[in-house]
Amino acid sequence: MNQKEKKIVTIATVFAVAFGVTPVVNAMHIMEGYLPPKFCIIWGVICIPFLITGYLSIKKTLSQNRKFITILAMAGAFVFVLSSLKIPSVTGSCSHMTGTGLAAILFGPTAVGILGIIVLIFQAILLAHGGLTTLGANTFSMAIAGPFVSYGIYKLCQKLKVNKYVGIFLAASIGDLFTYCVTSYELALAYPSVNGGIAASAAKFLAVFAPTQLPLAIIEGILTVVIIMGLETYAKPELKGLGFLKGGEN
Amino acid sequence: MAKTKKKVIILLIIAVLIALIPLFTLKGAEFGGSDDAGSVVVSQITGTEYKPWFTPVMETWIGGELPGEIESLLFCVQTGIGVGVLAFFMGRYVERTKKENQETKTE
């Protein structure tokens, strides 16, 4: 059995690395300088309370048990990997995933804010991808709005007694899609259409982002389910401690 | 366990297919970023070419756009860090589970 389990991990790793060498192009996030200063400040300020709650929530989780830091690191690494992989989509353009669903499900939505902003700062400074001025808006869409939706859907599926993996899949993929819906609205608020206003403008941005993002959202859902299966097999005590697994079952 | 393994493999194959199919079916497509598509829409809506009011700090430092190859290097570094952390901790968990299983067997 152990031999087989090792193989799964190897395959998963090779798979992840293989995607790392996909040709790189520009991808999502609102670009540097593309939001008027007023909006940059507003979005930044909106993020602050979420980030503070996130910091406190991580601190609380870690004070319960220092061991959770490894799972937290893995969830963060998951965001790191997925948001660096740009994947071709049916519309003929590339985009990347957010990877925030996993952390949202395991640690709650606010904690993801901290993980997300680390990734966004890294990309903004070194990769000219996203940007420092749009950091607030990007953090809000990717690390706050998306995870909150993921978490809500996951909890809802739990209540409705939907199969756990289906719930995780839905949570991760819809959270990913929602991230891009929020991005569209952020852009639309800054650039309302002359005829039709914000709504018409948002529809235009959505028309660009949504078809590209849909297949990627599905991939993100699948990968999140896979990594949770892996963690369930090997890191049971930690997941139990986080309240993800209940008692002895499963 | 064998069941989980099968599930994982099937799921990974589906994920790879979703990612690769557009590459083969849409021959000649550019696969530019949807960022670019986004800025095109911005210029459509405002009616004029939009000039970003702030250039990325990296571009200011090196005085120009980041070369494509260097950008891909940096993206790979990001992926590498992520995969490294994931694989390291996953490896630790796998070994731990193996040890625990052996201990319960010998007892």
Q: How far is CA A77 from CA A3, A51, A103, A146, in A?
A: 25, 19, 10, 17
Cα A234 → chain centroid: 23
pLDDT band at B65 (very low <50, low <70, confident <90, very high): low
> What tokens does B19 get?
């990612």
Query: Which uninterrupted H or E stretch holds A8?
Result: helix A2-20
A246 touches chain B (CB under 8 A): no
- Residues A22-71: tens digit of each pLDDT: 333 334 577 777 777 788 888 888 888 888 898 898 888 888 888 888 88
User: Has residue A115 got a pLDDT over 60?
Assistant: yes
Rounded to an integer, the average pLDDT of B22-47 is: 62
B31 contacts A92? CB cut-off 8 A: yes
Choose among A25, A85, A235: nearest Cβ to B93.
Answer: A235
Query: What's the CA gap between B60 and A162, in Å, rounded?
Result: 51
Query: What's the CA gap between A220 and A32, in Å, rounded?
Result: 26
Name the residue with tokens 């690494």.
Answer: A77
- Residues A196-214: tens digit of each pLDDT: 677 777 777 777 777 778 8
B9 contacts A201? CB cut-off 8 A: no
Helix axes A68-84, A37-64, angle to 10 degrees: 150
Among A100, A106, A71, smallest CA distance to A83 is for A100
- Is residue A170 within 8 Å of residue A217, measured between CB atoms? no
B59 touches chain A (CB under 8 A): yes
A194 touches chain B (CB under 8 A): yes
Collect all residues of chain B within an 8 Å Cβ-Cβ radius of residue A227: 86
> What tokens does A227 get?
């990594």
> What tokens does B27 get?
């021959």
B90 contacts A4? CB cut-off 8 A: no
Residue A185 CB neighbour total at 10 angstroms? 19
At residue A118's C-alpha, the angle toward residues A117 and A121, to 5°, is 80
Among A74, A17, A16, A7, smallest CA distance to A223 is for A16
Which value does ipTM take for this structure? 0.71
Question: How much is the pTM?
Answer: 0.76
User: Has residue A15 got a pLDDT over 60?
Assistant: no
